[in-house]
Chain A
Amino acid sequence: MKSLFAKTKFLESRIEKYLDHTSEVAMLFREAMKDYLEGRDEEFEARRRQVTDLEKQADEIRLEVERQLYLETLIPESRGDVLGILEHTDEVITAAKTTLMLLSVQRPNIPESMRADYRELAEYGCRAVQELVMGIRAYFRTAASVRDHVHKVVFWEGEADTVAERLKRKIFSSDLELARKLHLGDFVVHVDTLADGAEDVGERLSISAIKRSV
C-alpha cells in the first residue's frame, strides 16, 4: 500500500515541478521581452538561456511522467487527457523559447512608439499562461473550478488578440519600409503564440474537467 502511494506522491511532485517550470517560463519570457525592448542585452540573453534550460527540464519531466503513468497503469481513465494537457502545455513553453531565440538571432529593431504595445502583448501572454497553470492544478484536485481559470485564460487571450491587432495596424500604417514592417509583424505573431497556445490548452482542459466529474 505504501509503495503505490509513494509512487503517486512522487508523480504528483513531478507534475507540480512541471507546472512550476511552465509558470516560470511565462514570467521569464515577459521579463526577457522587457529587457530586450529596453536594450538590456546581457539580461535578455541570461533570461533566454534560463528559458532554454527550463524548457529542456520540462521536457524530461514530462517524458518521465508519461513513462510512469504507462508503466504503473495509473489513472487509466484520465491518462490520455492528462498526457494530452501536458504535451500541449509543452508547446506553449516551446513557443516562448522559440520566440526568444528568434529575437536573439534576428534582433528586430522595434521603434520606441511600439515598445509599450509589445510589452503589453507579452504581459497578457504571461497572464494567460499563469491562469492556465492554475487551471491545470485545479484539474487535478477540484475539477469544478477549472472553468473559472479557463474563463480567465480566454479573457487574457482576447486581450492579447486586441493588442496584437492594434500593433499590426500601427506597424503597417507607419512609414517604415515594407521589409521592416513584415519583420515586426512577424514578431507580433510570435509573441502572441503564448496566449494562443494557452487558450488551446485551456479548451482541452475544459473538456477533460467535464469528463472527470464522477
Chain B
Amino acid sequence: MILLFLSSGLFLGWSLGANDAANVFGTAVATRMVRFQTAAIVSSVFIVIGAVVAGGGTTATLGDLGAVNALGGSFMVALAAALAVMWMTRAGLPVSVSQAIIGGIIGWNLFTGTRTDVASLVKIISSWVACPLLAAGFAALLYLAARTVVARARIHLLELDAGTRYFLIAAGAFGAFALGANNIANVMGVFVPAFPMKSLSLFGAFQVTHAQILFFVGGLAIAVGVFTYSQRVMMTVGKSLFKLNPVTALVVVLAESLVLFLFASEGLENWLIGHGLPPIPLVPVSSSQAVIGAVIGIALVKGGRGVKLAVLGRVAGGWVATPAIATLVAFLGLFFLQNVFGVVVRRPVPFELTPPAVQRIAGQGAWDPALGRLSGIRFRNAGEFSAALSKEADLGARRLEAVFEASEIDSFVIDPPGTWELDASVLTAGQIDAVRSLVRTSYRHKWQLHEALAGASNEWAPVPDTRANHLRKKAFASELRYVFDLFRVELDSR
C-alpha cells in the first residue's frame, strides 16, 4: 500500500532522471565527448549519493511551506506536479518540477485549510528568480577564466580535448550530486512528514533516518529515469538547444552545478552562518533554468548577440503558470481522492482557544479581549480559525503567530512502550530521561509537551532565536519533531 502511495513520487523521480540528467551531461554526450553509458552510470551514482547525503535541507524548506501530513495527500501532491509537468511538456512550454511541486503543496494547503507560510513562499520564489541570475554570473566568470587559461596556457588542442573530457565527467558528477541534493525534495519531500517508517540501523554502526530511506528510493527512481529515457533527451538538448564547444559546455555544467549546490548545501549554510554571513536558502530550483541562465551569461560576455528575450519571457511565464496549474490539479485531485475514493489526504489539525492556550497567549502579550468570544470553540483547520480571528480583532503578524502556535490542537500520550523506543542517536541521554520522567502524561498542545520536557531537563530548554543559534535551532526542532511523531495519538473527535 505504501508503495502505491509512493508511486507518484517515484514517477516524478523517473521523469526528473529522464529530463534533468540531460542538463548535466547533455552537451557532453551529444558532442561525443563522453559516452552515454559513462554519463548514465556517473549520473546515477552521484544523484543517489547527493540525494541521501545532502537532500535534507531543501526537503525541510518544502516542509516549512506546507507539511503534507497524510500519505494520500502526498500521493496527490506529487501526482498533481507530475501531471502539470506532463501537460506543459506536451504543450511545448518550459516547465520546472521544482515549481510544480510548490504549486502542488499550495494546492494541498488550500484544500486542507492549512496556512501557507508566506515567509517560506517568498524565500522560494526569490530563489527561482535568483537561480538563473546566479547561474549567468557564475558562467560569465568561469567563461572568462577558461578563456584566459586556454589562451595563455598554450595547451595542445588534443590535450585540451582530453582534459575537457575528464573535466566534463568530473563536473557532471558534481552536477549529478547537486541535482540529487537539490531536487530529491521534489521527488520525495512531500512524503517525508507523512511517511510512517522509523530510522534503521545499518550493521549496528550507521543510523539511516526515514527521510534518507525515502531519498534513496527516490534516487533509485531518478537513476532508472536516467538509464531508460535520458539518452534521447540528452541528444536533443545537447544538439539542438545549445551550440556550445566542449569548453563552453563545461562552463555551463559547472555554473549550473554550483547554483544547485548553493541552494542545497547545509554545509555551506552552516559555514556562512558560522562566519556571520547571510545564509543562502535551501530551496529546490530548476536545473533547466540554471542552464538557460548560464548560456545567457556566456552570451552576454561574448557581446550579447543571440540572446533571445522571448526565451527569458517564457521562463518567467513558467514561474507563474507551472505552480498555478499544479495548484489547481492538486486541489481538484485531492477533492476527488477524499470524497470519491475515501482516501485520507490529511491528518486534521484543529485549533481551539483552550484555557491553557489563552493563558499562554496572554503571557506572551498577544491577547486581545475580543478573542474571548472564540474561547472553547473548535475550528477544523487554520483557514477557519484565521477567518474567525480576523472578524474579531486585527492582531498583526507577530500576535497572530503567537495565537496560532498556542491554539493548535494535537494529542500526545507518553506511553511506556514508546519511552523504550527512544533513539539514542537522535536524542541525548538527558533528553531521553526527561521524556521517561513524563510517562503516562498526556497533552493537547505541542507547547505543553515542550514546556513539560523543558521543566524536566535543561536539555529541552528553548533555543534563543539568534543567527548564531541557527544550527542548534534546526537540530532542536528536529529532536522535538521526533518526540511529537513518536507519541502522537489520534485526536478524540468532538
Contacts and interface: CB of A to CB of B under 8 A. Distances in A.
Answer yes or no: do A and B interact: yes
Interface of A: 1, 4-5, 7-9, 11-12, 73-78, 82, 139-142, 144, 212, 214
Given A8-B161, A74-B161, A214 B156 contact: no
B155 A141 contact: yes
Interface stretch (B53-61, B204-212, B244-252): B244-252
B146 interface: yes
Contact of B161 (A75, A142, A144): A75
Interface string B218-252: 00000000000000000000000000011110000
B147 A214 contact: yes
Interface in B312-346: none
A12 B32 contact: no
A214 B166 contact: no
Contact of B157 (A9, A78, A144): A78
Contacts of B150: 214
B424 interface: no
Contacts of B147: 214
Contacts of A1: 166
Contact of B156 (A7, A76, A77, A140): A140
B162 interface: yes
A82 B160 CA distance: 14
A76 B32 contact: yes
- In this complex, which of A11, A75, A141, A214 has the most chain B Cβ atoms within 10 angstroms of its Cβ? A214
Given A4-B162, A75-B161, A76-B31, A214 B146 contact: yes
A5 B155 CA distance: 13
Given A214-B146, A214-B245, A214-B247, A75 B151 contact: no
A212 B157 CA distance: 9
Contacts of B155: 141
A76 B165 CA distance: 11
Contact of A4 (B143, B151, B165, B247): B165
A35 B151 CA distance: 44
Nearest to B245: A77
Nearest to A7: B162
A8 B162 contact: yes
- In this complex, which of A11, A12, A77 has the most chain B Cβ atoms within 10 angstroms of its Cβ? A77
A74 B158 contact: yes
Contacts of A8: 156, 158-159, 161-162
A36 B31 CA distance: 52
B83 interface: no
Contacts of A141: 154-157
A67 to B, nearest CB: 15
A11 B158 CA distance: 8
Contacts of B154: 141-142
A82 B150 CA distance: 18
B206 to A, nearest CB: 32
Give the contact-size bracket for chain B. 20 to 34
A125 B179 CA distance: 58
B33 interface: yes
9 contacts: A4-B162, A12-B158, A75-B157, A76-B33, A139-B157, A144-B151, A214-B151, A214-B247, A214-B248
Nearest to B158: A8
A77 B31 CA distance: 8
A208 to B, nearest CB: 10
A140 B162 CA distance: 14
A82 B157 contact: yes
Interface string B17-35: 0000000000000011100
Contacts of A140: 156-158
A11 B427 CA distance: 61
Interface string B277-294: 000000000000000000
Interface string B160-188: 01100110000000000000000000000
A156 B77 CA distance: 74
Nearest to A16: B156
A8 B165 CA distance: 12
A75 B147 CA distance: 18
A139 B159 CA distance: 13
B247 A12 contact: no
B172 to A, nearest CB: 15
A73 B161 CA distance: 10
A136 to B, nearest CB: 11
Contacts of A78: 157, 161
Nearest to B155: A141
Contact of B162 (A5, A139, A142): A5
A100 B491 CA distance: 103
- In this complex, which of A1, A82, A144 has the most chain B Cβ atoms within 10 angstroms of its Cβ? A1
Interface in B114-170: 143, 146-147, 150-151, 154-159, 161-162, 165-166
Contacts of B157: 75, 78, 82, 139-141, 212
Contact of B151 (A12, A73, A74, A142): A142
A20 B182 CA distance: 53
A11 B150 CA distance: 20
A1 B163 CA distance: 9
Nearest to B159: A8
B221 to A, nearest CB: 31
Contacts of B32: 73, 76
A76 B28 CA distance: 11
Nearest to B152: A142
A37 B161 CA distance: 47
Interface in B402-454: none
Contacts of B31: 76-77
Contacts of B247: 214
A140 B166 CA distance: 19
B91 to A, nearest CB: 34
Nearest to A139: B157
Contacts of B162: 4-5, 7-8, 74
Contacts of A75: 157-158, 161
A144 B147 CA distance: 12
Contacts of B33: 76
A11 B165 CA distance: 17
